[in-house]
Amino acid sequence: MAKKFDKALLRRVRNDIEINVLIEHILQMEWRIRENHFRFLCPVCGEFNTATNPTTNLARCFCCQRNFNPIDLVMIYRRYAFIDAVRFLLLYLQPQTREKIVPRQKSKAREQPENDGGVLKNRETPSSVPGISVSDYLVRLRKTLEEKLARSKIMTEDKLAAKRKRYTVAKK
């Protein structure tokens, strides 16, 4: 895939993936509903003083005064470069849009699920490993995903604990 994306594609990636869906389901960031507003944990400052605007498809943290579009959130939360963040978000566009943008792959590579978020990259598929059933493969895949999720939550909790500790020390 090219290193440059045209403006129309970037506009679609930024506007067609709802910011609330991205935060809640795709990135699985910590979020809450407070005072009838969708709040999320800011990946920069770690505060819940945030809001999203579905009309403009932007998120804002009022503590660190940052605005986020979907590409910005993926870059900061997943620590991806711009190109990798756009490629990641392309996986979540509607399939008919994605087929126009992402060139078709041939042979066995097409057998992988299209919406795996890069999880299956460099991993075996049920068809590539002789003697493994689909259910065994799915069990293995689920364990791998749970381990990754647990590691990311631990890292996030450690960072938040360190920030809280610095805040309480600075407050005294």
Q: For residue 156, what pLDDT is reported?
A: 65
Three-state SS at 53: strand
In this structure, what CATH number is given to the domain that contains residue 76? 3.90.580.10
Q: Which domain holds residue 135?
A: 109-172
59 in the same domain as 138: no
| End-of-domain residue from the set 103, 128, 154 | 103
For residues 76 and 60, what is the distance between their CA atoms, to the nearest angstrom? 14
Report the first-to-last Cα separation within the chain, whole angstroms. Answer: 53
95 in the same domain as 136: no
> Which DSSP letter does residue 62 get?
T
Cβ atoms of 10 and 124 closer than 8 Å: no
Q: What is the reported pTM?
A: 0.54
127 in the same domain as 83: no
Q: What's the total number of domains in the chain?
A: 2
Residue-level pLDDT, tens digit, the chain, 172 residues: 556 788 888 999 899 889 998 998 889 899 988 888 899 999 999 989 999 999 999 999 999 999 999 999 999 999 999 988 888 888 887 654 544 444 444 434 334 444 444 444 444 444 455 566 666 766 776 777 677 766 666 666 667 677 667 666 665 5
